[in-house]
Structure formats: structure tokens, C-alpha cells
Amino acid sequence: MRIHCLGGGLVGSFVTRRLVEAGFEVHLYDVIPRQTPANFHHQSAFEADHTSADIIVNMVPGSIGHELLASLATHPYRIVDLSFAETTPDALEGCSAVILWDVGVAPGLSNMLVALAHREFGRLDNVTIKVGGNPSLPDSEWSYMAPFSPHDVIAEYTRPARVVKDSQPTVVPAMSDLHRIQANGRTMEAFLTDGLRSLIDMPVNNMGEYTVRWPGHIQRYQASTASPEELVEAWRFDPDVEEFTWMEVAVEAGEHHARWTVEDHGKDGDSSMARTTGLVTYACVKAWASNPLFERGVHPPEDLDTHTVSNVLTTLREAGVRISCDSTSANLQASS
């Protein structure tokens, strides 16, 4: 089984290494030289020949993610897309590829968990997703370092957020509904960002995704006159600083509820965001390599069957990611 990985950043390099360790023939393509156990190709993914690939994993930055995916989609490839581009793959016309997209932690695992709740409860009343990767302790500056492309973080902060209110998709300004929350004993702040993506079509009365940061971070951003290049430097990821990723997916459906929490602190030199995001991607690639998940079309994470989602959760847990589920449903407890 030959897999082409496109992009070897913090997450891309982690996914690539895990696939090599699983015994796949892996080829990594990047314009930046990377130290990797995979077969490395120092060239643009746009210019490479991917006809020999059994699965392609698109992990380039969101700024070029959709353009690259559109060029690949004219061929009958199997593609796992992790670029989180603003233009989503379901907008592609004349697509010949089979695509599974947004398979990270959020969007990605969050979608899968909401889909499990929908299958169990039917129409949902309220869905709230809260997620963030942050330093373990705040500081006197930004109290933040970007665990993936800083330009994608800036896009997160500036892109209007799509939410669901009274069963209708609604657009609100990014960083709306700023409020304090408790994240496993930490007092943090949460604000709306555009993370629902394909979930916007789920039959839910009210739904939103919130990015989680240390108090004061987003206010500093709102008041800042720093250029994107200055922010990229200020938010540069420091592997020597302790950090964590935390996510909560809370669902209410009449008298029923389900609440999942996911937390990781990094391990063996890999950041928590690389692990939580990359392990989901890795598990999906591995599942697709073993079973024909999809034969045609463009599929969001919520299209994955319950067995595959259960295997994704098992992959995370076996790697040391902490996951808990509190629910009125014994079925959800068992599958989670």
C-alpha cells in the first residue's frame, strides 16, 4: 500500500511517521526539506506524479489546500484531506476523486461524536463544541503559540463564524460570544469561530464551535496592530514549552445528553495538537487502507460508520490521549 503525504509540518510530519511505523510505503512531498523516515521528495505536491498512490493525504496549509485538492480531484484518487481550507471540498465540481475531508480533532473527531449522538438520539436540541491547543500556563505576553500554521490561526480569528440558531444556519462575526469557561479545572475563555463546516447541515436546533484560549489572549489580538508576519513570529511554536489540547463536545436531546472530553499534553516530542489531530487522520487512513469506506463522492467525517469511529477513539486512547464520555445512553458509552 503506497501513501503520498503532502505537507510535512507539525501535523503532517507526525502523520507521515505513524504511517511509516504501521508498515506502509510512504512518500512525503514538501517544498521545505524535512527529516522523515518516509521517502522524501523535495518538490511541490502540485508538480509531483501521484498516479502510483493508493491513498493521498493532503496536509498542506489551508491557504493552498483547496487549490491543491481541486487539482487532485480531477483524477480518480482516494484522498484524505486535512488542509482545512476555507473553501470546502463539497464545493468541487466535476470531481473524479473519492474524498474524506476534515479528519482532524475539530473539525473531525468532533463531527464524528456529534454524528454518533444524532444516530442515537435523532434530532438534537443543542450542540456545543469547545476546543483549543494552548501553553499549559499563561504568560505576560500572548499566552499562546500556534500548534499548526499561524496563518490558519489568523484566518480562524477573522473568518465569520457559521452557527445554527433556531434550526437555521446563521453567520455571526468571528470571536463573538466571548465568555469564561472551565476546562478541566482551568479558567479559560471561549469565543465562536468557523469550525462547524459540514456539521452546519446536521438537524440541530442550536449549535456552535468555540475556540478556547487563556483569558486576555483574544483581547490582545483585537487591540493589536501587529502584521500577520509579526504574529507568526510571536506565536512560533516552542517545543520546550509545556502545552495541552482540550476539547469538549456537549449534546442535548430532550431528556438525553452526551458529553465527551478529550485532553492530551504531548508525548515523546510530539505536540498535543499534532497528536490529537494526526492520530485521527492516521486512524482514518489506516481504516481506508483496510476497508472500502467509500466508493465514490465527497465525504465529511460524520459519514464514517460507528465501527470506524470507535476504532479512531481506540487509536487515540492507545496512544495515551485521555477521552471520557458521560451520557444517558449506554450505547454511546460503549461505542466511545
Return mean pLDDT, the chain. 95
Percent pLDDT > 90 in the chain is: 90
**pLDDT level of residue 72 (50, 70, 90 thresholds):** very high
- Could you tell me which of 144, 140, 134 has the C-alpha nearest to residue 235? 144
pLDDT tens digits for range 239-248? 999 999 999 9
pTM for the whole structure: 0.95
pLDDT at residue 97 greater than cutoff 90: yes
Strand partners, 133: 245
Query: 2: pLDDT confidence band, cut at 50, 70 and 90?
Result: very high
Going along the chain from its start, the domains and CATH numbers come out as 2-101 (3.40.50.720), 109-271+320-335 (3.30.360.10)
Per-residue confidence (pLDDT) for residue 160, from 0 to 100: 94
**Could you tell me the CA-to-CA distances from 191 to 160, 172, 277 in Å, in that order?**
12, 11, 21
Is the pLDDT at 139 greater than 80? The verdict is yes
- C-alpha atoms less than 13 angstroms from C-alpha of 32 in its C-beta half-sphere: 11
Edge-to-edge strand list for the sheet holding 78-81: 39-41, 25-29, 2-6, 55-58, 78-81, 98-101, 298-299
For residue 35, what is its C-alpha cell?
527529516
Report which residue type is found at 41.
Answer: H
CB-CB contact of 188 with 215 (8 Å): yes
Give the pLDDT of residue 47. 95
CB–CB of 122/188 below 8 Å?
no
The answer to whether residues 336 and 117 touch, using CB atoms and an 8 Å cutoff, is no
Residue 152 has pLDDT above 90, yes or no: no
Answer for the pair 242, 260: CB distance below 8 angstroms, yes or no.
no
pLDDT of 335 reads 81
- Per-residue pLDDT, 149: 78
Residue 148 has pLDDT above 80, yes or no: no
